[in-house]
Amino acid sequence: MTKKLSEQPSSSQAASVVFVGRNSRGNWIAREQSGVFGGLFVTRAQALKYALVENDHHPEAIVEVSFEMELDIPGDRTEAG
């Protein structure tokens, strides 16, 4: 892993909180709390790996939820016209 000299140490960077859980169809979802990023996955391991990469490797900021959640990203709406 390489690090740019201008980067701050990871402890001073704010990690994105990512929720990981299942949707109503049983698929795994990883979704940033504000909906900035997210994904749909077949396995829990894939969802957790994605969450870790996207939040800059901060496992303490990954929250696995027991309730159903959906992948609802703002601006990702298609309307029939």
Any idea where the domains of the chain sit in the sequence?
Answer: 15-64
Q: What is the pLDDT of residues 22-57, one digit of tens each?
A: 999 999 999 999 888 999 999 999 999 999 999 999
% of the chain with per-residue pLDDT over 90: 63
Angstrom distance (rounded) from CA 72 to CA 63: 17
Angstrom distance (rounded) from CA 65 to CA 74: 20
Query: What predicted TM-score, i.e. pTM, was given to this entire model?
Result: 0.72
Using pLDDT thresholds of 50, 70 and 90, give the confidence band for residue 58.
Answer: very high
